[in-house]
Chain A
Amino acid sequence: MSALRHPVSPISLAGRFGAYGGRYVPETLVQPLEELSAAYAAAQADPEFHAELRTLLEKFAGRPTPLFLAQRLTDLLKGPRVYLKREDLLHTGAHKINNCLGQAVLARRMGKRRIIAETGAGQHGVATATVCALFGFECVVYMGEEDMARQALNVARMRLLGAEVRGVDAGSRTLKDAINEAMRDWVTNCATTHYMLGSVLGAHPYPSMVRDFHVCIGEEARAQYLAAENALPAALFACVGGGSNAIGLFHAFLSDAGVAMIGAEAGGRGLQLGEHAARFNGGSPGVLQGTYSYILQDDHGQIALTHSVSAGLDYPAIGPEHAALHDSGRATYVAVGDREALQACQLLARTEGIIPALESAHAVAAALERVPHMAKQGGVIINISGRGDKDMGIIGRELGLTHGEKF
């Protein structure tokens, strides 16, 4: 038997978080992934790379973002003080720009001038289109047609920025299908093209590289919180689609054992398969789109359809590092339904004057439920990963705020 003849694989396993992660791709993509890994390792060791990225993050994107004490929300909840990490204030309106700037500098070092990306809510697509305009790159963004319909504003933004938006009419016509199509493009054009993957998903090195570009969220938040409270927060709250904003916030606190970490997944309309995107509530380990992690699937290993009011959370797999954090118990993941997220969005708007993206509203909802039951001393941090402008069509309709007016 061949397996016994050559029992030892000549190449070691790459990019594992416990049992999760890895590299499950067609052979054609292994070498491009190796080249990306090598280019990223070289960039990490190069002070010039970090200096250029830091300058772009400060002068172009608007880092550092504030850590804001939400006093009226704190008074309302009667628990620990609630702080908001304001990633929604970044250029393009969400944390996604951190990763796109990092990958853009990297792509230029690799000599790749054509960029492809997938997008769900359109925030990563807009951030990608933005950095491509800034760097003078050709830009193609794949987007499910259902997402194009519900995030029409972001489609127009991408086009205004010079990107080509290619609608994907396959499967559930959402983020998962956009990733399939982006991978088909990459497997065809890998010699000239960089795939600017937008979350901590996919094959190695993406989950760790994208995380690294977002750890600034948690590093800033930790220092800001220490400066304000001279202590560490009791808990962190972040929404988890693929999980990039959550891992970005969590990472700097991983060795702070007293800091609880709560990831909010999309509970959608209910916890039957097909009605939600809560991978830790009915999902199981499997392989999708390059990585081994928790996925929503049927008994035959076919990937399940998902639903969330928030396009950015509407995806059947979760980043592999979250799978490891879940299994180890270091982080806790909860499902937040569409209705709770919409209510949390409205509450934050009215108590703090901040309209969060529907994705981030899931994190707010998870905090609203837990903070009143926590010990009153100290505080918590909620990551407001993006702003809600893009969601006004859905929010207006769902909350009955429009009276016949059209957006």
Chain B
Amino acid sequence: MSRFAEIFSRTKRERRSALVPFITAGDPSLEGSLAIALELARVGADVLELGVPFSDPLADGPVIQRSSERALARGVHLDHVLELARCIRAQSSIGLLLFGYYNPFLRMGLERFAAAAAVAGVDGVLVTDLVPEEAAAYRAALGSQGLDTVFLAAPTSPDARLQAIAQASSGFIYAVSRTGVTGARNQVPAGARELVSRLRRHTELPIALGFGLSTAQQVAEVAGFADGVVVGTALVDAIDRGAQTGGDAGAVHAAGAFLRGLNGTPSRT
């Protein structure tokens, strides 16, 4: 059983949805990201989405764009992200999903990347700008290394596409709560629940919902119909604010405090 499968069956047994924070690898620094990842795991994160910085993040809103730019300005590339994953894995059993745009993976070579990711202890990969139709070589490369391939499902996806997405995905499926780029919103979009229930007709895989979720109230609401809740922009923003006032230590503190606030519990230690 893959780690993602184990994690989601555990959270299901515990009658809760998995908490899936997103951070940009290398923002505020690679060392900072390692400490943040371990802190997030400590305070209750089940799966960590590790963002691979890219020069042209066209699916991201301004907060994650700037975070990606800061990491790139420090020279952070896919090799570093894999090393970061290895360091996280050495100290934590948190689920690890690499989250990025296709070109850096393609440039490294899909087979070389998949082998390196598996060695580093990565559990799966989500490529924002790769849809199942274009993903045959990618799926073969990742599948041969036992890595899960997580695909996005969107409110605009008709049922035929949801079926293709479900067939191409393993580990879990990432449902996008609304049309648009990443970024915090005040409410859970009306179409999110419908998308998750449409998707359920095509899959038994766990479904995590993301895009625009940032508050404990939203997390609690989404937990009522999805198996996992992804929180990205608001956390990246909190990390940046923490880093600005307190450097890496400030960022780690801010990340932990933010996630505890979402969880509605002081700590799981």
Contact = CB atoms under 8 A, between A and B. Distances in A.
B155 interface: yes
Q: Is the interface of A mostly helix, strand, loop or mixed?
A: mixed
A32 B161 CA distance: 13
B179 A191 contact: yes
Contacts, number: 156
B218 interface: no
A1 B141 CA distance: 11
Given A2-B148, A28-B155, A302-B55, A14 B61 contact: no
Interface residues of A, number: 47
Contact of B132 (A9, A29, A297, A300): A9
A48 interface: no
Given A188-B179, A302-B72, A297 B107 contact: yes
B33 interface: no
A14 to B, nearest CB: 7
A234 interface: no
A176 B58 CA distance: 10
A12 B132 CA distance: 10
B133 A301 contact: no
Given A2-B170, A31-B158, A287-B106, A24 B163 contact: no
Given A2-B143, A28-B176, A191-B179, A183 B134 contact: no
Interface in A236-259: none
Contacts of B158: 31
Interface in B116-173: 128-136, 139-140, 142-144, 146, 148-149, 151-158, 160-161, 163-165, 167-170
Nearest to B108: A301
Contacts of B144: 1, 3
B102 interface: yes
A25 B131 contact: yes
B89 interface: no
A30 B103 contact: no
Given A190-B179, A300-B79, A1 B56 contact: no
B183 to A, nearest CB: 10
B140 A3 contact: yes
A28 B179 contact: yes
A39 interface: no
Interface string A54-94: 00000000000000000000000000000000000000000
A2 B150 CA distance: 11
Given A187-B179, A299-B107, A12 B133 contact: yes
Contacts of A177: 56
Interface in B171-199: 176, 179-181
B104 interface: yes
Contacts of A303: 55-56, 103
B133 A289 contact: no
B128 A26 contact: yes
Chain B: number of interface residues, binned into ranges: 35 or more
Nearest to B77: A300
Nearest to A189: B179
Interface string B78-112: 11000000000000000000000111111110000
B59 A26 contact: yes
A22 interface: yes
Q: Identify the interface centre among A4, A11, A13: most chain B CB within 10 Å of its CB.
A: A11
Interface of B: 54-61, 65, 69, 72, 77-79, 101-108, 128-136, 139-140, 142-144, 146, 148-149, 151-158, 160-161, 163-165, 167-170, 176, 179-181
Per CB-CB distance, the 7 closest pairs between chain A and chain B, nearest first, are A3-B143, A301-B107, A301-B104, A2-B170, A1-B143, A300-B77, A188-B180
Given A24-B129, A171-B55, 17 more contacts: A2-B139, A2-B169, A2-B170, A10-B132, A11-B164, A23-B134, A26-B128, A26-B176, A28-B176, A30-B156, A171-B56, A184-B59, A184-B180, A300-B79, A300-B104, A301-B108, A302-B77
Interface of A: 1-4, 6, 9-14, 22-32, 170-171, 176-177, 179-180, 183-184, 187-191, 286-290, 295, 297, 299-303
20 contacts: A2-B170, A3-B139, A3-B149, A9-B133, A10-B167, A12-B133, A14-B133, A26-B59, A27-B165, A27-B176, A28-B154, A28-B176, A28-B180, A31-B156, A31-B157, A180-B58, A184-B59, A301-B54, A302-B54, A302-B104
